[in-house]
Structure 1
Amino acid sequence: MNSRANIDPVKIKAKRIKCEDEHLFFTRAFFLPRMGFKFSVNWHHEYIVDKIDQVISGKVKNLVINVPPGSGKTELLTNLIARGLARNSRSRFLYLSFSQSLVEDVSATARNIVKSVDFQSLWPVKISSSTDSKSNWKTTVDGYDAGHVYSASMGGQVTGRRAGTLANDGFTGAIILDDPLKPEDAFSKSARKKANRKILNTVNSRKAKSDTPIILIMQRLHDEDPTNFVMTGNVPGDWEQICIPALIDDDYINQLPEHIQTKVPRDVERDEHGRQSYWPLKESLQSLLQLEKGGEDKDGAIVSRYTFASQYMQNPKKLGGDLVKSEWFGRYIELPVLKWRAIFADTAQKTKEHNDYSVFLCAGLGYDNKLYIIDVHRGKWEAPELIKEAKKFITKHKVSNNKIGNLRYMAVEDKSSGTTLIQTVSRETTIPIRAIQRGTDKLVRTMDVVFYVEDGMVVLPASAPWLLNYVEEVEGLTADMTHDHDDQWDPTIDAINNMVVKPYDLLD
C-alpha cells in the first residue's frame, strides 16, 4: 500500500531541499505527475533555470530572457511561482502578459501545482478560501492571508498589488513579464510606448522593496520593443540579459558559461555556415532554415524573414522604410456595417523563391467612407493552383449579409498571370472580374494614396492570422524600392483607389 506513512521521511526531506534549491529539479518533479510524461530538457532550459536560480539567490537582480517561440519559457515561469511559495508561503507574485488568457492559465496552473498531493506532501501551504480565482489567489499563514499571486494583462489594473514582501529577507516573489507586447502591436509606435510606460511607471512601482526582482521573458519583436527599452537604461536597477537564438554556431556556444557549453550537443546536423538548431529534438535544422527563407510554421502561420530574425533569432532589423507607418492604420475589433465589398488580386509572374507572392485581399467600404481590410490570403501558386485559390477566396467571401454589404467584384491587374486569371475565372464565377491597369511606378502610386492611410481612412482588424505579416511588409516599404516584397501593398493601393478615392470607377 502506497501511503504517506510508508514514505521515507529522509527521502521526503532530501526531495524538498533539492526542489527548493534547484529550479530544474522542481520543474521536472511537478511536470511529470501533471502532464503524464517527462519534461524534455534541452541545454537552453538549463541556461534559463541557472539564471532563475541566481535571481532567487540574489546574484542577478533583474533578468531579461529572449527565446524563440515554443521554447518552454512559460512552463519554467509557472513553476517559479509554485516554487517561490514552497520556499516561502508569504511570497507575492505579479504575472503580466499581453494575453489575459495566458496569465489566467499560468496562474491557475501554478495554483493547481500548489494544491496537488505531491506538493502538499512536501509543503502544506494553505490556499485562502476568501480569494481563490484563476487570476487572483492567496495563501494563508496562521489563519491570515499572506502570500499572493495576481495575474493580469498589460492593459489591466495592478494598482494596490505588490510583488515581494517586507516580512522576510531573501527571495519573496517577483514581477514576471511574459510577452508584455503583442506581436501585431510591435509595429505601432503608440503600442510600444504604452507597453514601455507600463513597465517603467506602473510595474516598476509595484515592488514591495527595491530588491524585488523583475523577470522579463519574450521573443524579440522590434528594435524598440520592451527588451530594448529595459536594456538601454530606461528602467532603474541592474539588469542581466540572455539571448537564445533558434540557430546557433560555435561562436555563440563558446560565449556561453562553461558549464552550459558542455550541455550543447556538437555532433548534430549543421548548415553550410556551421549553424545548428538550438533544440534539434523539437525544431529540425531544415525546418528552421525553411522558416528563415519565409514560410509557414507548424501552426500554419506565415513567418516572414523579419519575423524569423526577430522572434527566432532575437535580432530584429531596423525597419527604415518610413513610407507607411503602421500606427496610421485604424483598428477594428468587429466589422461595422459596410456599404459593399470587393476583392483585389495581385499575381506574381513566377513562383520561384525570389519572386513575389500572389495575394487576394478582401476589403469593404464603411458608411464612414473608410476602407476596412477584411481578409488577406497570400501564397506562391502556379497558374492552375492560382485559379483554384481565386475561386476558393471568392466563395469564402461571397456571402449574403446585409451588415457587410454585397461582394461586387474581383479586381485583378491585367498583366502576365493576372490576365490568365481574369480570362479563366470570368467564365467560372458569377461575380464580375475587372481588369486594373497600373500605369505609374509603385512609389508614385504609394505617394498618391499614403495620406489616406495617414488620415486613418484605412482600418485593419485588431487580430488576424495574416496581420503581423501584412504590417511587417508595409513598415518595410522603401522609397528606393529595395524592400523584399510589396505584394500585399499593391492590392491595398488598388483598394484605396477604387473604394475610397473613386469608389464608383469600377462599377460601370
Structure 2
Amino acid sequence: MNNINLLKFIELCFQTVVPGCEYNDYQYIKVIADRLEAASAGEEVKRIIFNMPPRSMKSICVSVAWPAWILGNQPTARIIVASYSRLLSEKHSLDTRCIMQSDWYRKLFPKVELSKDQNTKYKFQTVQRGCRIATSVGGTLTGEGGDFIIVDDPLSPAQALSETFRKRAANWFDQALVTRLNDRKKGVIVLVMHRLHLEDLTAHLLCKPRNIWHHVCLPIIAEDKEIIYSVNNHIPEHEQEIYSRKEGQLLYSLTEGKEEIEMIKAELGSYGFAAQYQQNPLPLSSGIIKREWLKRYKNFPDSLLHVTQSWDTAISTNNTSDFSVCTTWTKVDNTFYLLDVYRAKLEYPKLKEKVLSLAARWKPHAILIEAKASGQQLVQELRKNSDLPIIQIVPHDDKLTRFHRIVPIIESERVFLPNQAVWLSDFEYEILMFPEIRHDDQVDSTVQYLQWVRNNIARVVAIRSL
C-alpha cells in the first residue's frame, strides 16, 4: 500500500464513502487522476477545468478523495473547496474527513492526524497545520489562504439561467476566490462542473485573453474519436495514452443503455441534455428558427388523410457518414404535424427494408426521396418492385437557400411537434441549431417535405386562378 497511486486511492475512498455500492473502474477516471496527480506534484498543470456529466464520480474524485490525498502527502497544505450550496460543500467536507479517519487511511499515512482544536464540518486541520476549508460561492474567506482551490458546481441549473447569478459567480471567482491563493505561481485551482449555460463559469474562464486553463471535456456520448494522453512527466512513453473511445461510445455504462439516454433527453429537454450531459450548451434560441415558433400537439389529428414521408438517404455505416432520415408528416388544412422521425446509419439493403417497413406502418400517400446517388437506386428499385407512391425530388439551389424558403412556414406557427417522443430532443437540437451543426439530415428531410408541400399549394392556387 506504500506505492499506492491516486487512481487506486480513489477506489478506496469510494468504498469508504459509498459502502455497499460497486465501484466501476471506468477508464476516464484515469484522466482525472492523472491531471490531479500532476497538479499536486507541482508539475506544469496548475489550472484545470473538468467538464463532465452528472453521476460521473467527478465530485468524489476531485472534492472528496483528492483533498485527502493531498493532506496525506502534504500535511501542511491548505485546501479551499467551494460549491453553489453550503449543504453540498458540507457533505463533501464530511466525506473527506470520514476518509481521513478510516483505518486504512491512517495506516497509509501514519504521520497524518486531525487536530482536536480545529475539527468541524466546515474546517478541519491536521496537527501539521494543513487544513480543508468548505465554503459556498459568494461566501467569505476572510483571513483564509489556500495552496489548492477547488470549485465544484459553482451554479445550480436554475441559477445558471439567471444572468445575475452567473455574473455573481464570475465576479466572486475573479475578485475574491483567486486572491486567496497563497502563491499565485505555485498555487493550483481546479474547476469541476457539468456545463449549464453558454455564459457559465467555464465559458467565462476559457474566453479570457490569456488562456491558462487545461480543459478536460468528456461528454456522455463521444461526438468524435477521443484519445487522451498523460500529462505526468514520469510516465513512460509507451504508457502515455491513458484514455480512448470511439464516436458514439458512452462515457460510462447505463443500466438501460441508449434507451436510458433517450429517457434523460425526454426529462431534461434538448437544452438541458446538450449542456449537462454533452457539455455543449445551446443558445436558448438560434439565429434562424426560434423555439417559440414550433408549436405542440398532444394527440395525433383525428384523421390522417394526407400522410407524407420524406427521406434523406445515405448508404454507409462508418463513423463519419451521414444518417438516413425519414420524417413522417400529416397535413390538416394549412398546418403540418410531424408524426415520427426515424434516423440511423444503414447500408443499402437495410435502408430499402426500412423504407418498406415504415411505409407499411404509416401508409403514406406520398414518399419523397431525394435524387442523389443512394436515393436514385432506391427510387428505381421501389418503382419497379412495389406499388409505393414514390416521388423523386430534384433539389435546386444550395441547402441554406432551400432552408430559408421554408422558414416563413415555421415562423407562421404552422408546424406542430408532439409534446413527447423519444426522438424529439435530437430533432429540436438539429433544427434550432442549423446551420451550426455537424449532422443536418433531419433538417434536410424536413425542408424537403415543407418545400414540396409549399410548391404543391402554389401549383393548386395557380391552377385555380386560370
AA of the residue aligned to 2:201: P
Alignment CA distance shift 1:282-1:90 (3 Å): farther
Matches within 5 A, 1:46-125: 46-57=30-41, 58-77=43-62, 78-124=64-110, 125=112
**Structure-1 residue corresponding to 2:192:** 217
Decide whether the 8 Å contact of 1:247 with 1:288 is kept in 2. no
Matches within 5 A, 1:47-446: 47-57=31-41, 58-77=43-62, 78-124=64-110, 125-141=112-128, 146-164=129-147, 174-210=148-184, 211-233=186-208, 238-249=212-223, 251-254=224-227, 263-264=243-244, 275-280=248-253, 284-291=257-264, 294-295=265-266, 302-320=267-285, 348-350=298-300
**Structure-2 residue corresponding to 1:419:** none
Q: Percent identity?
A: 26
Task: Find the residue that maps to 1:248 and give its secondary structure.
Answer: coil
Deviation at 1:289, TM superposition (A): 3.9
Deviation at 1:238, TM superposition (A): 2.3
Decide whether the 8 Å contact of 1:223 with 1:317 is kept in 2. yes
Cα distance between partner residues in 2 of 1:207 and 1:309:
34
Alignment CA distance shift 1:59-1:194 (3 Å): same
Deviation at 1:283, TM superposition (A): 6.8
Cα distance between partner residues in 2 of 1:242 and 1:321:
27
**Structure-1 residue corresponding to 2:333:** none
Decide whether the 8 Å contact of 2:271 with 2:284 is kept in 1. no
Alignment CA distance shift 1:194-1:122 (3 Å): same
Deviation at 1:224, TM superposition (A): 0.7
Deviations 1:371-399 (A, max 9, x none): xxxxxxxxxxxxxxxxxxxxxxxxxxxxx
Alignment CA distance shift 1:353-1:76 (3 Å): farther
| Number of residue equivalences | 298
Decide whether the 8 Å contact of 2:75 with 2:126 is kept in 1. yes
Deviation at 1:241, TM superposition (A): 0.2
Decide whether the 8 Å contact of 1:277 with 1:288 is kept in 2. no
Task: Find the residue that maps to 1:204 and give its secondary structure.
Answer: helix
Decide whether the 8 Å contact of 1:277 with 1:283 is kept in 2. no
Report the more deviating stretch, 197-206 or 111-120. 111-120
Alignment CA distance shift 1:40-1:239 (3 Å): same
Deviation at 1:131, TM superposition (A): 1.9
Task: Find the residue that maps to 2:130 and give its secondary structure.
Answer: strand
Cα distance between partner residues in 2 of 1:105 and 1:90:
23
Cα distance between partner residues in 2 of 1:283 and 1:203:
41
Deviations 1:63-101 (A, max 9, x none): 000000100001102110100110011111110000211
Matches within 5 A, 1:463-474: none
Deviation at 1:232, TM superposition (A): 1.3
Decide whether the 8 Å contact of 1:47 with 1:260 is kept in 2. no
Alignment CA distance shift 1:67-1:205 (3 Å): same
Cα distance between partner residues in 1 of 2:255 and 2:45:
29
1:39 aligned residue (23, 46, 64): 23
Q: CA RMSD in A?
A: 3.5
Cα distance between partner residues in 2 of 1:61 and 1:213:
5
Task: Find the residue that maps to 1:233 and give its secondary structure.
Answer: coil
Cα distance between partner residues in 2 of 1:132 and 1:91:
16
AA of the residue aligned to 2:101: K
Cα distance between partner residues in 2 of 1:88 and 1:313:
36
Structure 1 portions without partners, runs of 5+: 1-14, 165-173, 267-273, 296-301, 323-345, 357-441, 446-472, 479-508
Structure 2 portions without partners, runs of 5+: 231-237, 288-295, 302-326, 330-336, 339-409, 414-427, 434-466
Task: Find the residue that maps to 1:276 and give its secondary structure.
Answer: coil
Alignment CA distance shift 1:256-1:263 (3 Å): closer
Cα distance between partner residues in 2 of 1:73 and 1:108:
17
Deviation at 1:285, TM superposition (A): 2.5
Cα distance between partner residues in 2 of 1:109 and 1:47:
22
Alignment CA distance shift 1:224-1:27 (3 Å): same
Cα distance between partner residues in 1 of 2:300 and 2:77:
60
TM-score, normalised via structure 2 length:
0.57
Alignment CA distance shift 1:117-1:212 (3 Å): same
Task: Find the residue that maps to 1:193 and give its secondary structure.
Answer: helix
Deviation at 1:213, TM superposition (A): 0.6
